[in-house]
Amino acid sequence: MLTRVLGRSGMKVSALCLGTMTFGKEADEAASRAIVDRFLDAGGNFVDTADVYNGGVSEEIVGRALGARRDRVILATKGRLPTSDDVNDQGAGRRHLTRALDASLRRLGTDWIDLYQVHWPDPSVPLEETLSTLDSFVRAGKVRAVGLSNYLGKDIQKAIDLCDRYGWAPISSHQPQYSLLVREIELDTLPLCAHERIAVLPWSPLGGGVLTGKYATAAEVPADTRVAAAPPKAQANQLSDHNLAVARAVGEVAAALGRSSAQVALNWVLHRPGVTAPILGARHVGQLDDNLAAEGWQLDEAHVEQLDRASRTPLPYPHSMYRMIIR
């Protein structure tokens, strides 16, 4: 599998990252272990989890599944969100992140995390406290590199500047939502990360499954899907006319290429400028195999333009004017 450098860290990661949010819920331990085995056998070396995934069970399964193979994997996890009913068991402050990291290390059965990420911003804590805490993890040898997730571009830039000013461990990655259905990071975050050599690790590159082609209309929702389990308003948002039109465009390209819709949608994200490694989610090995086949080839320019055109939405000011100027 193709490898890419993880931002400023110097570590090399597979161009597809295995996400493990399904572990312990949609995939039991046996299925999860089979998914990990298949991913590593295919040449993958990048695995992402989080302390909140299924109450910590995901981390526990990942640790057991890796076992003696831990050294060959770039292991990433995240902390910030509540993991108990303790009012202080959350946030991006020193107290919680320190406890969260130690708990993740125990669950994963490892002495270090290759990439530790702040899962969401925390407006109640100064960014300086969050970043200095991450730096202390690196200095203690518990973490090799640090990253952010779901941050605004302006806050990523502030974090970069603070780390440079105080000599703290640099921001190596950012994990945002990005797909043909959610392209807002192209406005500022993606160019910023490319300029600052920050790895971009998109989550939900298949738009919550909408881009796999399994939803023909908003009225036809398979019972065993995430959309079916979502509240009515969330279902309506995910299966909007625009999203279904994009999914149809993906299906047209897939049919022309003899590929699955998932492979086409993933390939589009994989080759976007600035993207390092899209995060794959799978409930079983068959689903993973289909996703892995998104790597090793590239959409031609005409098909990329077709997908870009179908997924383009009106931009807010001043981005709308900027688009006109750069044309």
Active site members: 53
From the CB of residue 299, how many other CB atoms can be counted at a distance below 10 Å? 19
Cis omega (within 30 of 0) on the bond before 318? yes
Among the listed residues 181, 294, 183, 179, the one whose alpha carbon sits nearest the alpha carbon of residue 244 = 181
- At residue 231, φ and ψ (nearest 5 deg) are -60, 155
Q: Say how many Å lie between the first and final Cα of the chain, rounded.
A: 36
Q: How many CB atoms lie within 10 A of CB 232?
A: 7
The rounded Cα 207 to chain-centroid distance in angstroms is 12
Structure tokens at 277: 């490694």
Q: How far apart are CA 277 and CA 200, in angstroms?
A: 7
Burial (0-12, 13-18, 19+ Cβ within 10 Å), 154 = exposed
β-bridge partners, 200: 174, 275
Q: For residues 268 and 240, what is the distance between their CA atoms, to the nearest angstrom? A: 21
Question: Rounded to an integer, what distance in angstroms lies between the CA atom of residue 126 and that of residue 318?
Answer: 29
